[in-house]
Amino acid sequence: MSLNRKDLLGLEHLDKKDLQTVLDSVKPFKSLFTRSVKKAPTLIGKTVVTLFYEPSTRTRTSFEIAAKRLSADVVNIAVNASSVVKGESLIDTGKTLEAMKADYIIIRHSLAGAPDILARNLNASIINAGDGFHEHPTQGLLDLYTMYEKKKKIEGLKVLLVGDILHSRVAKSNIWALTKMGAQVAVAGPPTLMPSKIEELGVKVYYNLDEAIKEADVVNILRIQLERQQENLFPSVHEYVELYQLTKDRLAKAKPNVLIMHPGPMNRGIEISSEVADSPNAVINEQVTNGIAVRMAVLYLLKPNKARKYASSN
Amino acid sequence: MSEIILDSQAFQNAVKKVAGDIFKDNKNISELAIVGVHNKGVCIAKRILSELAKLANVGEASINFGTLDITLYRDDLDDFGADMPVIKDTEIPFDISQKKIILVDDVLYTGRTVRASLDVLMDFGRPKSIQLAVLVDRGHRELPIEAGYAGIRRVIDGKVKVECKEIEGEDKVFVL
């Protein structure tokens, strides 16, 4: 059982077998959550550093809990209060952390490719916790696992991603993973938030949510980044709400057992109504729980330091 | 060349001996729990459960039964290459507190698997006691761990392999 790599930079580079390996590995980690002692000594003596150049609560906390449940020592670096503000380069920051014997570095950065730069220069395992508009692989894996857990399969599943596909790293990681696993992926959103040539990734494009939702087994709602509103990428929040908010009325047009997912944090009343977010179809909180188990599995399956002997970084 | 340590009949006799010895010391079946260690320990544990149920004249379902996997508790994970061991389910579907646990494995060798198994069990709660039952105690201990119950005890060099009817189609223990 292996991912045969030291880093997790994105899902584009994982093949179907790798994705299945992760899916098959999660359950034993999740079962730890139900015990009185929710920890195992698997990573005892290992050091995990979270290096976040962008703000995050849930992803950073999820990684921290995952690492602590495997008994690793965890150091969180808030970049705003670090030497980075004095002008230290990314590679030097990484090398300093490695000199302090970090075994895993979990990085979030506003620039696509930043985790890749670290991975090429360090022996520590690098995990991408979101890089620009590129990928957010552990979110993609936890979405995949949640669908797998609830629907018992991925192949043939009809998954609809709704919202800002253009700027969403979650959407990209979802598309890579789901299409490789044999799901039929569709995207719906305003034309201004749709990447050009997105069809080439094997997805169907809808601009009308009412039409798109009818067939879906899973609807994954993406967060509307309200800051994009400043860039005039959609006419108004009001219009977005009218056309693309997942409301109770729209949900009524979907299959009765449709799964509603959201990577969080939610803008209630914008991309999703409160009624839908709290409906029995929503598995948003389960995604959060699964996120910890999936990240534990990833920490287990990657091999820091010595791994360079057996595998290239991606 | 492989040497047969237990053939099918001797295998079954060994399981019966272990179950009989356990029953002799633990007449109160309700406070007992049988826990098998993946992989082959689970197979042996199911056999012991079946024999115990017969001896106590109760249904198998009335004896607590669980399985555990020690992978996450191994002390040698760093020694694995890129290929990490597959983790199996650990299922302890009863409250471990105040239970007399019979931990079952196929072969007792260095004692490291048992040490890890004890750590897993302790993380589920505080059992009244834990006793160890194995099909084969082959010696060469690296940790101070002994089996209270064993089908056979014999110092064996070489690799001991256990095959179960349920998995391989035949009960057999041999040395490679």
pLDDT of residue A228: 67
**Residue A162 phi, psi dihedral angles, 5° rounding:** -120, 135
Partners of A33 on chain B (C-beta within 8 Å) are none
The answer to whether position A34 is within a domain reads yes
Mutation target vs A (from B77, B83, B87, B119; most A CBs, 10 A cutoff): B87
Overall residue count recorded for chain B in this entry: 176
* Interface check A1 vs B, CB under 8 A: yes
* Interface check A310 vs B, CB under 8 A: yes
Nearest alpha carbon to residue B152 among B131, B171, B173, B169: B173
Whether the CB-CB separation of A191 and A239 falls below 8 Å is answered with no
Domain count, chain A: 2
Look up the CATH number of the domain holding residue A167: 3.40.50.1370
| Position B81 pLDDT exceeds 80 | no
* Interface subset of A 38-67, CB within 8 angstroms of B: 39-42
**Residue B109 phi, psi dihedral angles, 5° rounding:** -125, -100
Query: How far apart are alpha carbons A223 and A163 in whole angstroms?
Result: 7
Write down the residue that tokens 């459960």 correspond to.
B49
Alpha-carbon gap: A116 to the closest alpha carbon of chain B (Å): 20
Q: Which two tokens stand for residue A209?
A: 């949510």
My answer on whether A151 and A181 are in the same domain is yes
Question: What number is the average pLDDT over the span A121-130?
Answer: 96
Partners of B97 on chain A (C-beta within 8 Å) are none
| Position A120 pLDDT exceeds 50 | yes
My answer on whether A38 and A125 are in the same domain is yes
Q: Over the range B39-60, which residues count as b (16 or more CB within 10 Å of their CB) and which as e?
A: bbbbbbbbbbbebbbebbeeee
My answer on whether A145 and A273 are in the same domain is yes
My answer on whether A115 and A208 are in the same domain is no
The answer to whether position A251 is within a domain reads yes
Question: What number is the average pLDDT over the span B121-142?
Answer: 96
Whether the CB-CB separation of A141 and A165 falls below 8 Å is answered with no
Contacts of A7 (CB under 8 A, 6+ apart): A115, A119, A125, A126, A127, A128, A302, A313, A314
Whether the CB-CB separation of A133 and A158 falls below 8 Å is answered with no
**Residue A280 phi, psi dihedral angles, 5° rounding:** -65, -20
Give rounded-to-5 percent helix, strand, coil for chain A: 45, 15, 40
Alpha-carbon gap: A174 to the closest alpha carbon of chain B (Å): 25
pTM over 0.90: yes
Partners of A41 on chain B (C-beta within 8 Å) are 72-73, 119
Partners of A42 on chain B (C-beta within 8 Å) are 72-73, 77
Contacts of A180 (CB under 8 A, 6+ apart): A11, A14, A15, A16, A19
| Position A46 pLDDT exceeds 90 | yes
Residue ranges per structural domain of chain B: 10-156
* Interface check A252 vs B, CB under 8 A: no
- The range of the structural domain enclosing residue A65 comes to 16-136+290-301
Per the CB < 8 Å rule, is A28 touching B90? yes
The answer to whether position A5 is within a domain reads no
| Position B54 pLDDT exceeds 50 | yes
Query: How far apart are alpha carbons A237 and A247 in whole angstroms?
Result: 15
The answer to whether position A312 is within a domain reads no
Q: Which helix (H) or strand (E) holds B174?
A: strand B172-175
Whether the CB-CB separation of B115 and B131 falls below 8 Å is answered with no
Other CB atoms within a 10 A radius of the CB of residue B131 amount to 16
Q: How many CA atoms lie within 13 A of A121 on its CB side?
A: 18
The answer to whether position A222 is within a domain reads yes
Q: What does the H/E/C string look like for A18-83?
A: HHHHHHHHHHHHHHHHHCCCCCCCCCCCCEEEEEECCCCCHHHHHHHHHHHHCCCEEEEEEHHHCH
Radius of gyration over every alpha carbon of chain A, rounded to an integer in angstroms: 19
**Residue B151 phi, psi dihedral angles, 5° rounding:** -65, -55
| Position A307 pLDDT exceeds 60 | no
pLDDT of residue B84: 87
The answer to whether position A314 is within a domain reads no
My answer on whether A171 and A224 are in the same domain is yes
Measure Cα distances from B86 to A1, A2, A28, A304 in Å: 6, 9, 10, 18
Per the CB < 8 Å rule, is A42 touching B72? yes
Q: Enumerate the H helices of B26-160 as residue ranges.
A: 40-56, 112-122
- The pairs formed by A15-23 with CB atoms below 8 angstroms and a separation of 24 or more are A15/A180, A16/A180, A16/A181, A19/A141, A19/A144, A19/A177, A19/A180, A19/A181, A20/A181, A21/A301, A22/A141, A22/A144, A22/A145, A22/A294, A22/A297, A22/A298, A22/A301, A23/A144, A23/A145, A23/A148, A23/A154
- Tell me the residue type at A136: H
pLDDT tens track for A216-253: 999 999 999 877 667 777 778 899 999 999 999 999 99
Write down the residue that tokens 């969180």 correspond to.
A76
The residue in chain A having the minimum alpha-carbon distance to the alpha carbon of residue B117 is: A40
CA torsion sign for B41, B44, B48, B53 is positive
The answer to whether position A51 is within a domain reads yes
Looking at residue A114, the DSSP 8-state letter turns out to be: H
Whether the CB-CB separation of A154 and A182 falls below 8 Å is answered with yes
Per the CB < 8 Å rule, is B85 touching A25? no
The answer to whether position A151 is within a domain reads yes
DSSP-derived pairing of the beta strands B160-163 and B100-108: unpaired
Radius of gyration over every alpha carbon of chain B, rounded to an integer in angstroms: 16
Nearest alpha carbon to residue B37 among B99, B119, B97: B119
My answer on whether A145 and A278 are in the same domain is yes
pLDDT of residue B1: 59
My answer on whether A184 and A267 are in the same domain is yes
End-to-end CA distance of chain A: 17
Round the average pLDDT of chain A to a whole number and report it: 92
Mutation target vs B (from A23, A35, A125, A314; most B CBs, 10 A cutoff): A35
Partners of B119 on chain A (C-beta within 8 Å) are 41
**Closest Cβ–Cβ partner in A24, A40, A303 for B72:** A40
B10-156 architecture in CATH?
3-Layer(aba) Sandwich (3.40)
Query: How far apart are alpha carbons A174 and A183 in whole angstroms?
Result: 10
My answer on whether A42 and A122 are in the same domain is yes
Query: How far apart are alpha carbons A283 and A221 in whole angstroms?
Result: 12
- Tell me the residue type at A286: E
Given pLDDT bands bounded at 50, 70 and 90, which one contains residue A308?
Answer: very low
Alpha-carbon gap: A241 to the closest alpha carbon of chain B (Å): 45
pLDDT tens track for A17-27: 999 999 999 99
My answer on whether A223 and A114 are in the same domain is no
My answer on whether A64 and A91 are in the same domain is yes
| Position A85 pLDDT exceeds 80 | no
pLDDT tens track for B10-46: 999 999 999 999 999 999 999 999 999 999 999 999 9
My answer on whether A100 and A154 are in the same domain is no
Measure Cα distances from B148 to B101, B103, B128, B130 in Å: 12, 10, 16, 10
Given pLDDT bands bounded at 50, 70 and 90, which one contains residue A138?
Answer: very high
Query: Percent of chain B having pLDDT more than 70?
Result: 99
